[in-house]
Amino acid sequence: MERIIYSSGAPWENIVGYSRAVQVGNHIEVAGTVASDENGVVSKGDMYGQTHFIINKIAGVLEKAGFSLSDVVRTRMFVTDISRWEEVGKAHGEFFKDIKPATSMIEVKGLIDPGYLIEIEVTAIKGVEPTIERTRMQMWNLNS
């Protein structure tokens, strides 16, 4: 199986030794993504704005690789202030309310720039059937 690496061209990719995204077959992992562009930190102080910007940025990476947000099966959100979870959740829900990937939100002491309030990673798998939602009772029956 072929391994494809995607670069953003950032100089620290070679310094740190990482890729923007790595694809193997129908599976892609997108590295931690923050709210930055060519001018620096985007939406300073705005947790909702940064989350929204990041998910759009990730969508662009996925699209370049032939994936979409509907292929996302996992998101990991690293936040600097967990008390602002509702702002993050609102933005995340706007993109993923019907997709419902497995999700983690973890509070961290800080990110690489103090202006970054959140960093998001995603896992996507292409060609997965549409979502089937099971209720808690159905999950209990599956475990029997």
User: How many C-beta atoms surround the C-beta of residue 90 within 10 A?
Assistant: 13
Please state the pTM of the whole predicted model. 0.89
The domains of the chain, with CATH numbers, are 3-143 (3.30.1330.40)
What is the maximum span of the chain, computed from C-alpha positions, in angstroms? 54
Q: Is the distance from CB of 23 to CB of 124 less than 8 angstroms?
A: no
Per-residue pLDDT of the chain (144 residues; tens, 9 = 90+): 999 999 988 888 899 999 999 999 999 999 999 999 999 999 999 999 999 999 999 999 999 999 999 999 999 999 999 999 999 999 999 999 999 999 999 999 999 999 999 999 999 999 877 666 666 555 555 555
